[in-house]
Structure 1
């Protein structure tokens, strides 16, 4: 067996208890957490280095996740989902972050792509796609960003023309999570000519394998090396008339309705990553010897750890309250933007200090904090840059 075929040993670091207790989860959530934890410890963590080398997870990991009931957990059972709430979704994200599994794109598939189909799709579209997404038979992606546009969704150039009996799709997308392995992708495209981006945008469900739909190779990123991210190209792709989600011109409104949850999702992942790095750093500081005693016994390091614990706890409280508000239907777009902005930046601050506490070992790729350092910087960029988040918050004041 070659080195690349061998599984890594996974030894979880003991969890650090938060400075304030959590009240968000009930017994059902915690029972589900054990299922998710076993899956990530047994199926994901031992293979993560190999995922980073190949640029994507193994395709059968999706089928295994479906069999374990970890996909589409917030989608009703009648469509193959678990019928849970978004707190269940958060449990999966937290357990993913707990093992540093940056390669896994389950949350985008289950909590971003599937809700578009469930909330805006026809009954036929729901029955056709959602059960197969829940089982892992189909991998979902969403394609908004283009080479010439980032956070400016109204400026997209990809276009779908109404040809009477079909749509003709042309354009390209970039930085598409799950793009390389995707079986279906929701594509944002222009369908009108009014000159108003919000009125001309529509969403389409595009199936892999259609003539003219091609995928680039996984992109080489500085972090999240194992996460499947690529470019997508559409050249005269013929789509059936029923491939559209909702009515023509309503796509931008759909995107705005779902983006708040997507931004909170990023905050949840960033919060989990900060806790992951802090737990590893606290364990390292207690065991690393310098001048005959653990480095955690030196006041400068003790005080630094105390500061990190406080920042992580502050992020935890706000993220939990935003999640509670989301489930209760009262999370505002500005609240979600604030969570995404503050928690993602807190995550980077905390991990930077975790690397510093590790010293030279913090710069070594085999140490979890080194991977966390590059894996989590992107939280400040995708889902709308933090500069855009501040503008959204300012508009609400």
Structure 2
């Protein structure tokens, strides 16, 4: 829909390969997964075999040694087909890179190959019931006890939370590194340990996406599973949060382009006494606004991708990208339903439009709500003076 110069022939080949795998293995089954609120584990292994996971990791761990553009291709193809139940980006661009960046040699050898081939499913446990994604208000606590950490707390709305084998948990700790700031730890928690209970969350949107509440009650985690430095967990998370917001922006932007293209086609096809909907000036104005915002977002997101490739990530830019793309997506989903008239709420087309609107609303919430993004952007404005 928009001109781009990010990719080369290898990415075009990858896009065709990813599209073929998704069309053959996922598209026909995803609706059933939404109804069952469950994605079979063997799909993750198939995704690993097809090369959809952790492509930026070195070959020694089972990766492909490629860059972030491969992940962008995969994310865009997932979004274009409305497949939120297989969040490869969580595995490939958040969990695995965090282990690669902070992990010991033993941790990398133990966990990264499984994350690459899909035999190990990862999750990030940050959000809490009383604090959302506000890390400063976390109540989860990891107390050092000899060669273990004793972990207590509740994490909620965790993607892959009910089926993950490896959960990276952020919690407060006794050790403070930065003056009077509270210390944090990141712990690599294997899901089968005593003291862990998980409960799936039934959702109105993105129903195939495994989402759960995870409770830790005196869960003993070996100190050798500490990821990074004790007390510096908060600092370790900053880069991960930038990556998360960028991949969610990529997903939202691709979703927006798909919905906008379909909406324009529906308006062109819908006949009235005066012609098609596109013959009405006010309809063209409405679509022009959506297209203009989508076009600007595409340019900005690609700029953020380029910065990521150069290791020049900007937390504020990632927040802006996530905010703009998800809000634009919700606007497009709203108009997609409205412009179809009664068809937007009737039968298969209406079911899809309603699902698109609810799923778009999810995207303005997950990974930090639009209000959180605005607050983070606003707090940094004084630095521009």
TM-score, structure 2 length as denominator? 0.93
- For the 8 Å contact 1:180–1:215, the answer to whether it is kept is yes
Q: Match for residue 6 of structure 2? A: 24
- 1:197–1:334 Cα change, 3 Å: farther
- For the 8 Å contact 1:154–1:197, the answer to whether it is kept is no
The counterpart of 2:360, out of the listed 376, 381, 384, is 376
Q: Secondary structure at the match of 1:118?
A: helix
- For the 8 Å contact 1:145–1:174, the answer to whether it is kept is yes
- For the 8 Å contact 1:273–1:372, the answer to whether it is kept is no
1:73 equivalenced with 2:55 (yes/no): yes
Q: What is the CA-CA distance between 1:365 and the residue it aligns to?
A: 7.1
- 1:331–1:29 Cα change, 3 Å: same
Q: What is the CA-CA distance between 1:344 and the residue it aligns to?
A: 1.4
Q: Match for residue 42 of structure 1? A: 24
1:204 equivalenced with 2:187 (yes/no): yes
1:366 equivalenced with 2:345 (yes/no): no
Q: What is the CA-CA distance between 1:381 and the residue it aligns to?
A: 2.0
Q: Match for residue 299 of structure 1? A: 281
1:162 equivalenced with 2:162 (yes/no): no
Q: What is the RMSD computed on CA atoms of the aligned residues?
A: 1.9
TM-score, structure 1 length as denominator? 0.90
1:391 equivalenced with 2:383 (yes/no): no
The counterpart of 2:267, out of the listed 285, 292, 310, is 285
The counterpart of 2:41, out of the listed 35, 45, 59, is 59
Q: Match for residue 257 of structure 1? A: 239
- For the 8 Å contact 1:102–1:226, the answer to whether it is kept is yes
Structure 1 portions without partners, runs of 5+: 1-16
Q: Match for residue 129 of structure 1? A: 111
- For the 8 Å contact 2:126–2:133, the answer to whether it is kept is no
1:230 equivalenced with 2:212 (yes/no): yes
Q: Match for residue 5 of structure 1? A: none
Instruction: Report the Cα distance in structure 2 between the residues aligned to 1:267 and 1:78, rounded to whole angstroms.
Output: 30
Instruction: Report the Cα distance in structure 1 between the residues aligned to 2:33 and 2:272, rounded to whole angstroms.
Output: 35
- 1:389–1:72 Cα change, 3 Å: same
Q: What is the CA-CA distance between 1:35 and the residue it aligns to?
A: 1.1
1:127-206 alignment, distance < 5 Å: 127-192=109-174, 198-206=181-189
Q: Match for residue 332 of structure 1? A: 314
Q: Match for residue 351 of structure 1? A: 333
Q: What is the CA-CA distance between 1:293 and the residue it aligns to?
A: 4.3
Deviations 1:124-149 (A, max 9, x none): 11111111111110110010111111
Q: What is the CA-CA distance between 1:196 and the residue it aligns to?
A: 7.8
Structure 2 portions without partners, runs of 5+: none
Q: Secondary structure at the match of 1:366?
A: helix
Q: Match for residue 10 of structure 1? A: none
Instruction: Report the Cα distance in structure 1 between the residues aligned to 2:241 and 2:306, rounded to whole angstroms.
Output: 17
- For the 8 Å contact 1:364–1:370, the answer to whether it is kept is no
